[in-house]
Amino acid sequence: MRTVSTVDPVLFYERELGGSDILPSLDPWQMAVLRDPARNLLVLSGRQCGKSTVSALLALSTSLTYRGQTVLLVSPSLRQSKLLFQTVRTMLEACATKPEVKELRANDVQFANGSKIVSLPGRNSDSIRGYANVALIIEDESAYVLAETHGAIRPMMAVNRYSRHVMVTTPNAQRGHFYKLWTREDLPASWSKHSITTAECTRISAEWLKDERDAISSRLYRQEYECAFLAASNSVLSADWLEAVADHRDLRRDDDALEASLNGDPDEALRAGRFDHLMDEIRAEEMASA
Ligand SMILES: Nc1ncnc2c1ncn2[C@@H]1O[C@H](COP(=O)(O)OP(=O)(O)OP(=O)(O)O)[C@@H](O)[C@H]1O
Ligand SMILES: [Mg+2]
């Protein structure tokens, strides 16, 4: 099967970033993901194993190896999409051959070879529509991306016969599109699965993980570090669950404020809350990219 990953992305890494300060080497699991030619990839991983890193690298390798490719990075929230794009930018700036950039903006980059990488939040399935002929879609934290968004982005690959969809995530309970795909027994041959727990990641010490296990509930530990899809409790809402809902609400508030401030509506931004702290971040970002 020929896909846009026919040229080995690990060779791209070695040529552009091998031995660099930002990414001195790749983990075996990261190499396996990069080299997997499947059209659809499901990658389940514990926290901090290097999911976003491998996603950014695959986006760069695809867009710089081939002309005229559109790569879409989809994250659950605006904040996460900005962080992921920052990872792409950091890698791009460290590339040995200094790829020719035509235009670099807050959330997207266009290269002289006609390829582009766009990083978008996926919490509004309607506003993400509009891209076509996409060569590669990467859903970062896929289990937290709305099912509607997942459904809205897949058709963007329809007219590109080499297109690929890579979903990387930590688990998020026994629900949602990623969980359903991961647990499907009749997964078609064009799909492939990879998983890594945080204990298997050599950068994270057993000592740190032991302390963490003592610090948080065993349910949360299993979900965040051991790739466990937790059963939702149907009687009492667990503390973890309430915490996760609160985090999600905070993310949405952050996103609302950020979007409103970017749209130049300070009243709306103030209503959404956390305006000052977000504006500081935006200003810092603008100064850094000036
Ligand atoms: N191969 C590698 N070599 C050295 N450092 C790495 C490697 N891969 C990732 N890292 C570093 O590990 C840290 C976590 O990486 P990253 O953010 O990609 O992980 P993640 O799995 O997306 O984390 P999270 O679960 O918080 O989303 C970062 O500081 C990143 O630079
Ligand atoms: Mg990440």
- Express each pLDDT in 127-159 by its tens digit: 888 899 999 999 999 999 999 999 999 999 999
Cβ(171) – ligand 1 distance below 6 Å: no
Confidence of residue 90 (pLDDT cuts 50, 70, 90): very high
pLDDT, one tens digit per residue, over 7-34 is 799 999 999 999 999 999 999 999 999 9
229: Cα within 13 Å, side-chain hemisphere: 16
Distance 46 CA to ligand 2 centre (A): 10
pLDDT, one tens digit per residue, over 242-274 is 555 555 555 555 565 555 555 554 444 444 443
Compute the average pLDDT of residues 237-242. Answer: 51
pTM: 0.83
Distance 51 CA to ligand 1 centre (A): 6
Domain ranges, ordered by start, for the chain: 9-230, 233-290
pLDDT at 127: 83
If you count them, how many residues does the chain have?
A: 290
Pocket test for ligand 1, best of 21, 31, 53, 200 (most atoms within 8 A of CB): 53
Say how far apart CA 188 and CA 190 lie, in whole Å: 5
Instruction: Please name the residue whose Cα sits nearest to atom 11 of ligand 1.
Output: 50
Percentage of residues in the chain having pLDDT higher than 70 = 78
Q: Could you tell me the CA-to-CA distances from 55 to 93, 97, 263, 265 in Å, in that order?
A: 16, 20, 29, 33
Closest ligand 1 atom to 22 CA: 31
Compute the average pLDDT of residues 77-102. Answer: 97
pLDDT at 278: 44
Shortest CA distance to 42 belongs to which of 203, 196, 198, 204? Answer: 196
Compute the average pLDDT of residues 73-78. Answer: 96
Pocket test for ligand 1, best of 25, 43, 48 (most atoms within 8 A of CB): 48
Cβ(47) – ligand 1 distance below 6 Å: yes
Taking each helix axis from N to C end, the angle separating 51-65 and 9-16, rounded to the nearest 10 degrees, works out to 90
pLDDT at 274: 37
Compute the average pLDDT of residues 224-242. Answer: 70
Closest ligand 1 atom to 47 CA: 25
pLDDT at 266: 43
CATH architecture of 9-230: 3-Layer(aba) Sandwich (3.40)
